[in-house]
């Protein structure tokens, strides 16, 4: 029963990928207690590793992925372990994206026709959290002088 609860919790996680979700659904439909136990011990890691590889390839395919994000993903695809890829998705991606966002924000300052309101907004954004920089690039810069 504890193993069934464990796989349902994994299934309820919105970050569970397609392979993890598919395998859990199969186990819930017809898996024996031994199959569920075995999947938790070995199958989950394999399914998660595949889902993580798919996730980083999708990030790489995004035309908005910056240089650092692209460089780090290529390194992971060349020689990264499943654990390194998982770690990068959990923490490294945010940091790499923040560096790429900071570069993009500084490029806005280099524009010759930048307004004082935009200059002030850029200064505020560049001192912000990674999430605030991302928001500025996606939305905030278009709200200035509006």
Q: Is the pLDDT of residue 63 over 80?
A: yes
Mean pLDDT of the chain: 94
pLDDT of residue 144: 86
What count of other Cβ atoms lies within 10 Å of the Cβ of residue 121? 20
Please tell me the pTM assigned to this model.
Answer: 0.81
Q: What is the pLDDT of residue 133?
A: 95
In whole angstroms, what separates CA 56 from the centre of its chain?
8
Report which of 84, 27, 24, 22 is spatially closest to residue 53, judged by C-alpha positions: 84
For the stretch 128-136, contacts whose Cβ atoms lie closer than 8 Å and that sit 24 or more positions apart, written own/partner, are: 130/94, 130/95, 130/97, 130/98, 130/101, 133/98, 133/101, 133/102, 133/105, 134/97, 134/98, 134/101, 136/105
pLDDT digits (tens, 9 = 90+) for 96-116: 999 999 999 999 999 998 999
Reported as a single tens digit per residue, the pLDDT across 21-40 is 999 999 999 999 999 999 99
């Amino acid at each position: 029963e504890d193993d069934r609860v464990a796989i349902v919790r994994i299934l309820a996680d919105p970050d569970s990928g397609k392979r993890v979700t598919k395998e859990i659904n199969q186990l819930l439909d017809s898996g024996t207690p031994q199959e569920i136990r075995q999947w938790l011990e070995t199958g989950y890691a394999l399914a998660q590793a595949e889902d993580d590889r798919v996730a980083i390839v999708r990030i790489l395919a995004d035309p908005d992925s910056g240089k650092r994000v692209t460089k780090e993903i290529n390194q992971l695809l060349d020689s990264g372990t499943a654990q390194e890829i998982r770690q990068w998705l959990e923490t490294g991606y945010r940091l790499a994206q923040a560096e790429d966002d900071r570069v993009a924000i500084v490029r806005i300052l280099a524009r010759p026709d930048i307004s004082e309101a935009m200059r002030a907004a850029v200064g505020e954004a560049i001192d912000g959290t990674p999430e605030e920089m991302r928001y500025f690039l996606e939305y905030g810069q278009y709200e200035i002088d509006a």
